[in-house]
Homo-oligomer: A and B are copies of this chain.
Amino acid sequence: MKKIVSVIGQSDSTEEQYSHAYELGRLLAQAGYAIVCGGMGGVMEAVARGAAESDGMCIGLLPGSDPESGNAYLTLAIPTGLGHVRNTLVVRAGEIVIAIGGGYGTLSEIAFALTMGKVVIGINTWSAESHASIPADVVRVGSATDAVRYIQQNLEGG
């Protein structure tokens, strides 16, 4: 069974966040990990797109009830009908969590992951606003390459 990495981030992502997420999707797929994300746009679309272009697997857990509302690059779109609460499912799904960007939705997911004792890796979380709010326990890395290297060193198998 493939190991799952959860990738979280904003739908209204910056270009830099989008390119980090796209690269992350490619590298995780190439490393043999499956990805679970929130299935919508921005960072969620980018990571699914990167995975799809490397023949990887990215499952989207959607907030609504319509599978069509997911982005076009998902391997599967699973509608939850749970709204914001689906964020907690995205985080629980992965053996490790990678966060890109620093909105409050992402912050709630990071903190939730930490309450579950999961390792959280943060990429590009250095905006003034997120710098103030991202918890100290997040493993900060500068690139998707560093994130995947960290996972391969700390998460056996994949």
Contact = CB atoms under 8 A, between A and B. Distances in A.
Interface stretch (A21-29, A107-115, A147-155): A107-115
A134 B108 CA distance: 11
Interface of A: 1-2, 4, 34, 36, 57, 59, 65, 67, 70, 72, 74-85, 87-89, 92-93, 95, 103-105, 107-109, 111-112, 114-116, 129, 132-137
A65 B78 contact: no
Contacts of A85: 81-82, 85, 88
A140 to B, nearest CB: 13
A59 B84 contact: no
Contact of A74 (B1, B36, B67): B1
